[in-house]
Structure 1
């Protein structure tokens, strides 16, 4: 077990590290420890060379299917089709190769977060050292703007505030001190520690290094990222399983047919081999991998237009399958902009409109929502003056119209509040200041107001109340009702608000102010309730997620009261109380599995807690998405079924560990991406349900023809033609099929649900038999019964056209998986009709062009044959729609 430095007194820390807070380590001791502990840098991970990374891109079931199709096409002498398929393979491989290696890049991103130099005391001398030379026991000095070079235990601090979002995910600065804290404290509560990679935002400090390199907290996260296993997307798992089953079925069927023909029908070996090859060619959907790739690529483009950038192509549909989304609070569910939402004076409560740092919004009475002017109430007016004058922050409007903060978020919220009351320019002359210090928890300014001087005071309400003897009412100051204010403070804090109190005192005779001379005769002006408000659009997005059967879990470094309040406003389930990181650390694996099923708010979490929660959800059989922006989120993002990084405020480490990056840092964009993901999966199912009946019909025609002792009704080269033109025309129409109605009212797919369930397998078999039977009947009508001349070439040409046109009409039906195609929505994809027209032109060329006839063994057919072919196609549409209707009735 590692030493818990945060639980020790500073004297114990110094003693255990055998160092001196004034002299530091001697150069000799530091040199020896550098040999013992190694340089203060993260270890280099094993890297795969470019050649190996390139070759590994071929290890993909989609690529295997393409290569198999290319080999078979080459064996049949179709070199053009072979070249096209191989070109598709190379495009897939190159795209994957360029996007590959995100784990290695994530580790590199973490290394860039480390400090390069540090000020340390060695042998009693203050000197600047290369950060890699630092060792445990080194005494370092920090000041505002410094990046902390290693994990340190603080020895002395002066108004120290550290920005730790890289580790905790929360952007609020942490006030630091030197006293021991509880052993169970999570990282965000270890206020006597400084961690490598975090930044000093204010103040100064001296600390002693307790861990460097891989032993520091950021090194642990680095190791967690490296150890998280790469996962396969649900789509690739299903395609892999589907491809394996399909390949096995094809081989078994071809071998069985070969054996049957050899032993039971006494066919020649050459003829049997040709028939077996024909079955294999017929049953492999050569166009499927390419169509899948196109469907995913188009989905990537649509998602990009909705603020979601997909980094790995197969991940594009994963969001459509997730059943739970774990989200960080700050900046994703909320604006990450502190906002005053309520004001409490002695006699009136006010609600404040607007959000963020924009000085836009109204101040209304809480009881009747009546807009008021600050001049209507003396206490309100002076509170707003105090909020603006006793303040070191400012807000400025940038060129793009957004308001940018300069200074503390809490003070920025008060400046924005003053702006809403047209007091942004209230800046009376400041004569003297007592800056905010964590020890005193308040800020005071001595200001010149016209002919008088006043002291404005703001800070923690419990401290301000100690300095107040009066409260300001409508008719002037009166005795402070302390108990009532304490009760109102608790109520406001219970709503998740950070409470800031404001007070005032006349000071005409003073030239300066100090802590000791402030006195306790201030007049309390009131309280302000400040919170990082939820994004308005997120509330609707979470409601839509619930309707889609997706559970939203909040995992945050914030405190329980604030997290619970925000979760309630957002519509996240809050029946169960928030669970803290400290509680998670004490749970068994079984308890953790139960907790993630019943709780939706987790607070004060460490990086390993987020990873554990994702793993527990997955062990429960759920597909989990995870959002994040800090390096602390990277391990969980990498482990989740789909990691979602924030594009604006997210670190590079987080983006490299994620599959998806939000360009607007908005949870609502995730729900939009879920819609796209579900649509993409629907279109993939439609594509498979469309292509496989053509393959099944071709195989059925060949097998039935051989069993009946007929010549092959369709030749292998004609089979390749059918598969090729179906893929590049009709199947392509399904890649741009719009979203079906009620797609977000369906529950998420099961993690192990087959890509084609029994209903769709039945439809594939049904349509294969239907279109195959019509094709075989058309061939027999010509070749066996002599219609239209009775020639083999004519019979095969009519058979091929019957199969293609039947499949063309089937496209109209398969465009709606879950409902009837006999609605106006059949017209909402004009591209499908354009591609159907293109297919008809291709078939006319296949039939009548002189140079095509010797290539494919075709012959011109009479006009009457087209009437028969069209009737067969229309019959397929009517019969399939009837089957879909009866199936829906039976399901109900």
Structure 2
């Protein structure tokens, strides 16, 4: 954007910027300490699984089993490396998000206007702020144009204050909001030295509220940790009473504790969310908190603004209606003399430095049609900002000869209500407005007034205006928007349009965009003074909300939330801020959105394309589904490990210690990457966006889902114990039995990871969804198994013996039967669902 800045404002040079930064530091409230690799490593070593491994390795060292001790130390390195890799990926992804979420500030340096990250502002910089932007440092105004600021974040007063370089108070403060106009200010304080920095240093200690899914996962992991401790104590005690060997009893107990504790789950959650947010960032969707990805998949209602979201926000001036001649003029006739006054006052009622697309268009039309450009001769000396229900705004200009221009524009109803016209004439104009509105046009009324003296009325509505006419704009729906809304409806998500435009225009544009309109539009004024129950009923039944003001938008969003909906609110203006903040997912437009909207939102669409929100919702659903798959896989595969370790011991079977910590940690090394890396990479299932959204309050794993995982685990256990007994009955040694049980469990683990890719589609159908990581890890695990079984030193270390092709066939067959029964269950489910449909 180009700025009309005085030539004498040059700003700092590069050398002056560096000198100022060296003296005063960076513009940030805290030092933003970043964890070093050593701190990351220490955090990883605090994990319960690593502590168990360290204890076991120390016991092996103590009793002289150096080979096992070395393996455990290698396992510690491997587990640490995997955790470090995952944590580092998550950390880097979140750092990238933080960089993108930092607002940019406009500064003048070396006589040029440029945008820089806010933390790079230095004392002495010349910063430019304009309507809708947050001021990011304290400073003194040097130049301004129709500038007003809302300082409620510091003072608590909600009204805006006009300031300029000559005002008694010519200071601006970080954290306040520019309401209108433009100002250039010299930075005097940054970071902790600003007023907001001194007041709000404690803000950085506020912890982000964790999501419902995080709460449920934490409860599950804590419950399993308690179970692990109890089992450890029981097994230690039982084994010690039975054998009298303390060291063996401790190893038995620790082996079982390792098999119980599901440390993969919180790692998987963090990885899924951070990488999900990072992948969305690459799609042009900036998410401020990685946990918002979870909420995205639960969206049930999308509340969207009209202008710039559904429409192109191009604001083409199509017609002018001149009241004096009672005629409409198309674009070919805008230069006719009859229209000069209407165009003149439409421009004067706009901001001197236009920001809004309609005002930019009015300035351009003025330049093209007016013979004499008077903008430099007149100065704005008094203003009434946009207010009222419906809204209007008034500007007062004066030249050196004290000639005045008082111009107003706003909603046609607002200008008509303050104009001295007979009711019959007002009805005639309302009919014209309705006719244009029904065709999807957006209209502004234009008026002029005269006033002597400087005792201006407190309200602009108290002027006596002369109605001049209407400006008729057309803002067409975006290309492809119909397909976007079709996708939204197919995903079971409702759509509400919340706009400041009138009902006729909104209804026409909504219909053109493919929005399903099932009830008459509701105006914001109709919501005022309604009870909460009434607003909830209106919010549920109505699709189009028109002539909406900030409080009304907020009321609708809160009503939908109270009805149990998960609300995504799309907006780009200053007035959208409260509703964006209140929604479960506030979505701001990156290109045309104000900084206030971006600050209030949880998600920013960089190119203003609503299709990106569908991509985000799909990603949220995919990630949630994949986390569930990972957790169900972990539960299912932990059960046979736990029971294979414990049952031979408790039942007094011939080989009670069929698995040692060595075997369990190998299985843990297989399961960790499978659940947190492979399942994170799993693509979305083909019908995911055809299903209705899940309820936000649903338990993460329902009784049925948890039951399926437990049954899967128990059936695999039955298969493994069958192999155990079969091998013993065939005269197998302890090494042979262990090899058969271990191979069966490995085969079952691989098959389970494929079967659980979908709980609806068959395993063959799932192969159509390419996941090279899953294939790669499966091949790697089979190679490791071959090394363990057939490389003599390794086989000796794992206390197993080589298996024949026949024995491998038995292990694979039992594993397949133990896992692939689930394919029959899924087939029955598909048949039942097809009959219901």
Question: Taking structure 1 as the reference length, what is the TM-score of the superposition?
Answer: 0.63
Equivalents in 1 of 2:280, 2:297: separation in Å? 12
* Equivalent residue for 1:841, pick from 765, 777, 783: 783
Equivalents in 2 of 1:46, 1:428: separation in Å? 49
* Superimposed CA distance per residue, residues 283-314 of structure 1 (whole angstroms, 9 cap, x where no aligned partner): 22344444444433443343234321233333
1:665: how far off? 1.9
Counterparts in 2 of 1:147-186, with a 5 A limit? 147-148=148-149
Equivalents in 1 of 2:45, 2:575: separation in Å? 39
1:675: how far off? 0.9
* Equivalent residue for 2:664, pick from 719, 726, 735: 719
Asked whether 1:312 is paired with 2:255, we answer no
Asked whether 1:746 is paired with 2:691, we answer yes
Closer, same or farther: CA 544–853 of 1 in aligned 2, 3 Å: same
Match of 2:818 in 1: 876
Closer, same or farther: CA 821–344 of 1 in aligned 2, 3 Å: farther
Closer, same or farther: CA 765–333 of 1 in aligned 2, 3 Å: same
Asked whether 1:669 is paired with 2:646, we answer no
1:678: how far off? 0.8
Asked whether 1:549 is paired with 2:485, we answer no
* Equivalent residue for 1:241, pick from 219, 226, 240: 219
Mean Cα deviation higher: 697-706 or 294-303: 294-303
Match of 2:8 in 1: none
Tell me if structure 2 keeps the 8 A contact 1:66–1:85: no
1:65: how far off? 12
Counterparts in 2 of 1:99-118, with a 5 A limit? none
Mean Cα deviation higher: 297-306 or 745-754: 297-306
Equivalents in 2 of 1:700, 1:295: separation in Å? 29
Counterparts in 2 of 1:698-777, with a 5 A limit? 698-710=641-653, 711-729=656-674, 732-777=677-722
Mean Cα deviation higher: 864-873 or 228-237: 228-237
Tell me if structure 1 keeps the 8 A contact 2:264–2:675: no
* Equivalent residue for 2:180, pick from 167, 192, 199: 199
**SS of residue matched to 2:49:** helix
**SS of residue matched to 2:371:** strand
Tell me if structure 1 keeps the 8 A contact 2:321–2:329: no
Equivalents in 2 of 1:68, 1:323: separation in Å? 38
* Superimposed CA distance per residue, residues 190-211 of structure 1 (whole angstroms, 9 cap, x where no aligned partner): xxxxx96223279xxxxxxxxx
Tell me if structure 1 keeps the 8 A contact 2:736–2:801: yes
Closer, same or farther: CA 754–770 of 1 in aligned 2, 3 Å: same
Match of 2:314 in 1: 337
Closer, same or farther: CA 286–541 of 1 in aligned 2, 3 Å: same
Asked whether 1:811 is paired with 2:788, we answer no
Match of 1:355 in 2: none
Closer, same or farther: CA 548–459 of 1 in aligned 2, 3 Å: closer
* Equivalent residue for 2:799, pick from 857, 867, 870: 857
**SS of residue matched to 1:430:** coil
* Equivalent residue for 1:410, pick from 335, 350, 358: 358
Equivalents in 1 of 2:539, 2:783: separation in Å? 57
Tell me if structure 2 keeps the 8 A contact 1:730–1:836: no
Match of 1:128 in 2: none
Equivalents in 1 of 2:587, 2:329: separation in Å? 49
Closer, same or farther: CA 441–495 of 1 in aligned 2, 3 Å: farther
1:746: how far off? 1.1
1:844: how far off? 1.2
* Equivalent residue for 1:575, pick from 519, 525, 534: 519
Equivalents in 1 of 2:338, 2:644: separation in Å? 84
Match of 1:144 in 2: 145
Tell me if structure 1 keeps the 8 A contact 2:301–2:494: yes
1:818: how far off? 1.9
1:668: how far off? 1.9
1:616: how far off? 4.5
Counterparts in 2 of 1:340-359, with a 5 A limit? 340=317
Closer, same or farther: CA 117–145 of 1 in aligned 2, 3 Å: farther
Tell me if structure 1 keeps the 8 A contact 2:437–2:508: no
Tell me if structure 2 keeps the 8 A contact 1:324–1:552: yes
1:75: how far off? 2.3
Match of 1:792 in 2: 734
**SS of residue matched to 1:144:** strand
**SS of residue matched to 2:313:** coil
Tell me if structure 2 keeps the 8 A contact 1:228–1:639: no
Equivalents in 2 of 1:725, 1:731: separation in Å? 11
Asked whether 1:624 is paired with 2:605, we answer no
Closer, same or farther: CA 700–666 of 1 in aligned 2, 3 Å: same
1:319: how far off? 0.7
Tell me if structure 1 keeps the 8 A contact 2:524–2:552: no
Unaligned runs of 5+ in 2: 1-26, 58-71, 106-117, 128-136, 152-157, 165-175, 184-195, 346-352, 385-391, 396-407, 420-424, 447-467
Tell me if structure 2 keeps the 8 A contact 1:70–1:82: yes
Closer, same or farther: CA 824–762 of 1 in aligned 2, 3 Å: closer
Closer, same or farther: CA 531–257 of 1 in aligned 2, 3 Å: farther
* Superimposed CA distance per residue, residues 486-512 of structure 1 (whole angstroms, 9 cap, x where no aligned partner): 63333224666334799xxxxxxxxxx
After superposition, the CA RMSD in angstroms is 6.0
Asked whether 1:497 is paired with 2:441, we answer yes
Match of 2:371 in 1: 430
1:807: how far off? 1.9
* Equivalent residue for 2:76, pick from 72, 82, 93: 82
Equivalents in 1 of 2:371, 2:73: separation in Å? 85
Tell me if structure 2 keeps the 8 A contact 1:644–1:662: yes
Tell me if structure 2 keeps the 8 A contact 1:110–1:631: no
1:858: how far off? 3.4
Equivalents in 2 of 1:295, 1:527: separation in Å? 54
Equivalents in 2 of 1:156, 1:827: separation in Å? 60
Asked whether 1:276 is paired with 2:276, we answer no
**SS of residue matched to 1:817:** coil
**SS of residue matched to 1:491:** helix
Asked whether 1:689 is paired with 2:632, we answer yes
1:652: how far off? 4.8
* Superimposed CA distance per residue, residues 131-178 of structure 1 (whole angstroms, 9 cap, x where no aligned partner): 9899xxxxx999636454867789999xxxxxxxxxxxxxxxxxxxxx
**SS of residue matched to 1:321:** coil
Asked whether 1:91 is paired with 2:39, we answer no
Tell me if structure 1 keeps the 8 A contact 2:147–2:162: no
Mean Cα deviation higher: 560-569 or 240-249: 560-569
**SS of residue matched to 2:570:** strand
* Equivalent residue for 1:69, pick from 31, 40, 49: 49
Equivalents in 2 of 1:769, 1:406: separation in Å? 70
1:530: how far off? 1.4
Match of 1:866 in 2: 808
Equivalents in 1 of 2:641, 2:760: separation in Å? 26
* Superimposed CA distance per residue, residues 219-272 of structure 1 (whole angstroms, 9 cap, x where no aligned partner): 9xx99x999994323432332233234334444555556667678x78765554
Equivalents in 2 of 1:245, 1:855: separation in Å? 34
Tell me if structure 1 keeps the 8 A contact 2:740–2:807: yes
Equivalents in 2 of 1:666, 1:306: separation in Å? 11
1:673: how far off? 0.9
Asked whether 1:488 is paired with 2:432, we answer yes
Equivalents in 2 of 1:732, 1:156: separation in Å? 55
* Superimposed CA distance per residue, residues 401-429 of structure 1 (whole angstroms, 9 cap, x where no aligned partner): xxxx988733655899x9xxxxx9x9688
Equivalents in 2 of 1:883, 1:285: separation in Å? 26
1:320: how far off? 0.9
Equivalents in 1 of 2:145, 2:661: separation in Å? 76
1:628: how far off? 3.9
